Amino acid sequence: MLTVVLMGLLFFLPWLWADSPEEEAPALPGQTEKEEAEASSTVYDSAKMLKVLIDGELTEMDMETYLQGVVRAEMPASFEEEALKAQAVAARTYTLYKMEGGGSANHPEADACDDINCCKAYKSAEEAAASWGVSSAVYEAKIRQAVAETDGEVVLYEGHPVLAVFHSSSAGATRNVEDVWQQSLPYLRSVASPEGADAVPNYYSKASFTLTEFKEIFIAQYPTASLSGTPSNWFSNIHQDVNGAVESLQVGGITVTGGEMRSLLGLRSANFTISFTDDTVEFSVTGYGHGVGMSQYGANVMAQEGKTYKEILTYYYTGTTVGLYEE
Residue 210's DSSP bridge partners are 280
* Element spanning 313, H or E: helix 309-316
d(CA 278, CA 261) in angstroms, rounded, equals 21
Give Cα 43 to chain centroid, integer Å. Answer: 22
Q: List residues binding Zn ion (CB under 5 A).
A: 104, 113, 118-119
> Is residue 316 within 8 Å of residue 298, measured between CB atoms?
yes
Pick between residue 109 and residue 198 the one whose CB is nearest to Zn ion.
Answer: 109
CB of 82 or CB of 114, closer to Zn ion: 114
**CB 106 → Zn ion: shortest distance, Å?**
5
- Cβ neighbors of 309 (< 8 A, separation 6 or more) are 82, 83, 85, 86, 89, 150, 303, 322
Nearer to Zn ion, 93 or 174 (CB): 93
CA distances from 205 to 89, 113, 159, 171, 299 (A): 30, 30, 40, 12, 21
Least Cβ distance, residue 266 to Zn ion (angstroms)? 21
The alpha carbon dihedral of 80, 86, 89, 94 has a sign of negative
Shortest distance in whole angstroms from residue 310 CB to Zn ion: 28
Length of the chain, please? 327
Strand order across the 272-276 sheet: 204-210, 280-286, 272-276
Cβ proximity to Zn ion, 119 vs 302, nearer residue: 119
Q: Which is nearer to Zn ion, 50 or 285 (CB)?
A: 50
> Which residue, 107 or 215, has its beta carbon nearer to Zn ion?
107
